[in-house]
Structure 1
Amino acid sequence: MKTVSRAALAALTMTAVLLAGCGSDDSGDKAPADTATAANGVADLEAAAILDRAKAALKGAKSFHVKGVMSDEGSVTNLDLKVAGTDVAGSIEFGGAKLEMLSVGGHRYMRPNDKFWTMMDSSGQMAKTMASQSGKWIKPADNDTSLGAFFGAADIDELLKPEGTVTKGEAKTVDGAPAIGLVDSGDAKSVLYVATTGEPYPIKMERPAPEGLAFSEFGATFADIKEPAATDVIEMPKQ
């Protein structure tokens, strides 16, 4: 299954260069097991059909929380995102560099920490340039598509898109909920577990420790998904 890629990190580097030149109350289900115990029938389906049902359930929930650790070619990324439709609030952290992200009403914002700027420019000059803007959200131009991969968790089809062919794995209890595993031939280290009772939500993507992603708070209302104050925003020029 797909996650944030190295290409996305490269896109951030380009954005950082441009910037240098410019001088919740939650409600909803905590887990599928909390809502129903009746079998939902997905355990009897073929793997591809189970994945389709999981996507449909997640879309039907309207919102969810995904959190965990993933790696790509040795680069470890901590992911913590709350998603409501196409809106997102959360963060991505790698190597001590942290990028807070916010997407509301079609507008995207990001708030990097000092370590992020240092990682983008080892001379420290970029960090000095951005020091006066610390704590503010940076708003890329609306026509800037370079950061799309970072907000990919809002796209359920991409988030749960397999790299190869999916097959059914073992059935087991995951975080208190009965579930069936889906194994991706293109990513043999990952197993996506889908609830077999209640709504067929994806519950967890298991990978070798310490990696893995957990899905929760289906249908929740996230108070932190809101437009920042105009005084807390730095707007990037249109490209």
Structure 2
Amino acid sequence: MRAAVAATAMLLLAGCAHDAAAPAGKGLTDLPAPTVVERSLAAFKSAPSYRVEVHGGEASNPLSIKLDVVGADLHGSLTRDGGTTEILKAGTNFYIRPDETFWAIELEKPEQAHAYATFAGARWIKVERGDPLLKTAGLDGAFLFADRTFLNSAVPRQMALGDAKDIGGVPTITVLDPSTTENARTKISVATNGEPYPVRWDFGLGTVADFTAYGTPSDPIVDPAPQTTVDMKTVLDHT
């Protein structure tokens, strides 16, 4: 099975930075780059909800993740190579709902994929956090968006302020890693009006996350009804 490198690229970028508290009254664009990122991460952690879209992967193996995150729960989808799975996290429970193409891509056994997809049908499949499928399919990286501290590991060790620019109509200031090549460079675009939320996080090597809808009122994300779920072991035992 092919690991979804793009989905978890953000987990492999090492280091985080901290800076002394900035003098009161300064605008975000007047602050040192590490302080801008520190404030942005603090705002991100405190946001009650947000939406994120991630695009990455190679041209021959594109990846797309679309998620709504409410508190520490999430619901959305991951698409790769034309196969899609819905994902849902409610409390400590994790669920997936793959289509047949997704099963086929991950298993590389079309007949088995058809059997699993047919048996599961429209039911949510409950999975354990350590299920190997989550790692090989890149789903572990997608589920991490419910953890408000995971971006800490994607902060570069060296940081400098870049250009100010609008992203989707939101004014931002960019913090970038000056120590790497342009293609591999981490770029963090932080809102300069209102809360300093991260608006775009370019992890380098073609993986980009766009964040929107911070604090938009959202219904709680809850576990599916029991009659609409099945555990992964039951699915895998079905042949």
Given candidates 151, 159, 182, the residue that maps to 1:159 is 151
Matching residue of 1:233: 229
TM alignment of 1:1-239, pairs within 5 A: 4-5=7-8, 41-71=27-57, 75-130=61-116, 131-141=118-128, 144=131, 147=134, 148-159=140-151, 161-184=154-177, 185=179, 188-189=182-183, 190-205=186-201, 212-223=208-219, 225-237=221-233
Report how many residues are paired. Answer: 206
Structure 1's unaligned 5+ residue stretches are 9-38
Asked if the contact 1:90–1:101 (Cα under 8 Å) also holds between the matched residues in 2, the reply is: yes
Asked if the contact 2:100–2:114 (Cα under 8 Å) also holds between the matched residues in 1, the reply is: no
Partner Cα separation in structure 2 for residue 180 and residue 64 of structure 1: 20
**Matched residue SS, 1:203:** strand
Query: What is the identity, as a one-letter code, of the residue corresponding to 2:52?
Result: V
Structure 2's unaligned 5+ residue stretches are 12-24, 135-139, 235-239
Partner Cα separation in structure 2 for residue 218 and residue 187 of structure 1: 31
Asked if the contact 1:5–1:72 (Cα under 8 Å) also holds between the matched residues in 2, the reply is: no
Partner Cα separation in structure 2 for residue 68 and residue 140 of structure 1: 23
- Deviation, structure 1 residue 80: 0.4
Q: Which runs of 4+ in 1 moved over 4 A?
A: 142-146
Q: 1:212-237 deviations in whole A, cap 9, x for unaligned?
A: 33211111233372211111111235
Q: 1:63-106 deviations in whole A, cap 9, x for unaligned?
A: 11001412269642101011122211111111111121100011
Partner Cα separation in structure 1 for residue 45 and residue 126 of structure 2: 27
User: Greater relative contact order (Cα 8 A, min sep 6): structure 1 or 2?
Assistant: 1
Asked if the contact 1:141–1:235 (Cα under 8 Å) also holds between the matched residues in 2, the reply is: no
Q: How has the CA–CA distance of structure 1 residues 143 and 204 changed in structure 2, closer, same or farther, with 3 Å as cutoff?
A: closer
Query: What is the identity, as a one-letter code, of the residue corresponding to 2:108?
Result: S
- Deviation, structure 1 residue 166: 2.5
Q: Which range is displaced more, 196-205 or 178-187? A: 178-187
Matching residue of 1:30: none
- Deviation, structure 1 residue 204: 2.0
